[in-house]
Structure 1
Amino acid sequence: GGSVATGTGGVGTGGISGTGGNGIISTGGTGSGGTGSTAAATGGRIGTGGTATGGTGTGGAGTGGAGTGGAGTGGTSGQRIISIDFVGGQTAMTSTEIAGVKPAARWNNAPGASGSLTAFADNQGNSMNCGLTWTAGTGGVWRLSWPDAPGNTRMMNGYLDPISASAPAKVEVTGLPSSITGSGYDVYVYAYGPLSSGTRTSIYAIGSTSISVTQTGPSASTFTGYTPAPPGGSGNYVVFRGVTGSSFTLTATPGTASGTQTRAPLNGIQIVSPSGS
């Protein structure tokens, strides 16, 4: 598989210990003073009829320099994370904001109901000539209307908003490099929208793998954390594990609904390599 970049900081090199002073020779002595090494120097040898007085060497204390490492932002050492936020007409994220189940900076903003990107940045600041196209289907974009705040709130607030099973939202990622695909990767899909009452299901799929998510109203009025949704259960994100290949297509399809219009919100995605990290 491809090599995986690390986010390990560099280590500074400490200073060199100083050399202690020479011992003082007594009158009549012929001995040479010892050399101290950050401690007391060894006294000179005793001369004929005289006594050598040991000199005290003062060691020079070197101060270690602190190296500044080039560490990746977010994720654990060795993880490469590509994060994409479907802005949904809300405030776009800045490159320093941290968000996601896999906390990471450098989110790539995907504004509007449809569009494309031709380059990404990952959490370590690497630029990649990958491709992204997306469409919200017939529903366009919408929002949770949470009070704006950087990070997780801002990432989750806006989303693609498909409303018809015949026109699902579709996201296609192409051109992933071998450094991402070599050991496989996991795709985290964030899925949460406003719901005043009732229950609805949404279906998310990559290839032949599909996961159904249930949401029951009322929805939260602020961001309260991430909850994984088991197949058919409730939560605000799902994970497709062990995805391979340089491209994939994600669909978000509205399912059934009681007391509300069908929806399949798609707030954002994270591509995390290697798989299982």
Structure 2
Amino acid sequence: MKHTPLTSIACALTLTLGSASLTAATISINFVGNTNLNNVGADSPTSIVGLNGVQAQDWVNLAGTSATDADIDGASGSATISFSTNWRFNTGGTSGTENHNMMDGAIRLGGTGDSAPVISNLGTDFTSSGYDVYVYFGSDSHNRVHRFTLTPTGDSTSNNSGTENLTQAYNGAFTETNADGDVGNYLVFRGITASEFTLSDNGTSPGKPGVAGIEIVAVPEPSLSLLLGLGGFSLTLRRRR
């Protein structure tokens, strides 16, 4: 059967999709957790960790209580994080997978002497089309309420909140929270474009909540989104031939 020009173009796009990498730029940060995850600045792969859809291999493991302009993407002089905390914890009840390892530890935000994480120097692979920030929060069975605030430098402040899982930080599933009363272990700030932001938590007692990990995931460029759509269209055309 002779191809129409549209079908030929679609088939060419399918070949392009097969050879191109469509993975969004991602920075993944782990606080306190198991040292099986990568150290600061490491680029060697580990097991895939994180929420399905934004899972990553190259996690930065921040095992201490502070960091000053620590490299978080493996490139000298590029994205960095600064923070300090006077309190951290391990749940002690998580085991079995790398997701458990990541969720096992957390740092307190908002307590006396704590300095909220500031992530700086995000490049154009994140800022040009924007990015989403996934915040994984930990639990040591105190049923704390989280009210995270993300403040992009030069941009409007975003707020999100939720209640931690009472039993443990991670029981084999990730559950998103969007408001007070939601029970889960992660939430998302969407559509950020600033090259720097601060993440704080003004949650309620008992005690201050803890953050176990952060993922910064770039939104695909419009051209990439179009390519993905055309690739799917080409598959439909091929099935109808």
Q: How does 1:146-157 map to 2 (within 5 A)?
A: 146-157=93-104
1:82 and 1:144 mapped to 2: Cα distance?
24
Question: Structure 2: which amino acid aligns with 1:119?
Answer: D
Q: Out of 82, 86, 91, which is 2:35 matched to?
A: 91
Q: Out of 208, 212, 221, which is 2:161 matched to?
A: 212
1:246 and 1:178 mapped to 2: Cα distance?
8
Which residue number corresponds to residue 141 of structure 2? 195
Q: How does 1:172-183 map to 2 (within 5 A)?
A: 172-183=118-129
1:212 and 1:252 mapped to 2: Cα distance?
9
1:99 and 1:224 mapped to 2: Cα distance?
12
**8 A contact 2:131–2:217 mirrored in 1:** yes
2:179 and 2:30 mapped to 1: Cα distance?
23
Q: Is residue 2:71 matched to residue 1:119?
A: yes
Q: How does 1:2-21 map to 2 (within 5 A)?
A: 10=19
Q: Which runs of 5+ in 1 are unaligned?
A: 1-7, 11-68, 72-76
Q: Is residue 2:176 matched to residue 1:228?
A: yes
- Where is the helix percentage greater, Structure 1 or Structure 2? 2
| 1:92 positional shift | 4.4
| 1:200 positional shift | 2.8
| 1:169 positional shift | 5.3
Note the aligned Cα RMSD (angstroms). 2.8
**8 A contact 1:93–1:150 mirrored in 2:** no
User: How many residues matched?
Assistant: 192
Which residue number corresponds to residue 50 of structure 2? 100
Q: Out of 103, 108, 127, which is 1:161 matched to?
A: 108
SS of residue paired to 1:155: helix
| 1:167 positional shift | 5.3
Q: Which runs of 5+ in 2 are unaligned?
A: 1-16, 39-44, 152-156, 226-241
1:248 and 1:177 mapped to 2: Cα distance?
13
SS of residue paired to 2:132: strand
**8 A contact 1:80–1:273 mirrored in 2:** yes
2:163 and 2:202 mapped to 1: Cα distance?
12
| 1:149 positional shift | 3.9
| 1:135 positional shift | 1.8
| 1:91 positional shift | 2.8
**8 A contact 2:66–2:82 mirrored in 1:** yes
TM-score in terms of structure 2 length = 0.69
**8 A contact 2:67–2:84 mirrored in 1:** yes
TM-score in terms of structure 1 length = 0.61
1:173 and 1:254 mapped to 2: Cα distance?
21
- Higher RCO (Cα < 8 Å, 6 or more apart): 2
Which residue number corresponds to residue 216 of structure 2? 271
Which residue number corresponds to residue 92 of structure 2? 145
TM-aligned CA distance change 1:159 to 1:221, over 3 Å: closer
**8 A contact 1:144–1:157 mirrored in 2:** yes
1:225 and 1:202 mapped to 2: Cα distance?
19
SS of residue paired to 1:262: coil
TM-aligned CA distance change 1:176 to 1:204, over 3 Å: same
TM-aligned CA distance change 1:200 to 1:221, over 3 Å: closer
SS of residue paired to 2:183: coil
SS of residue paired to 2:184: coil
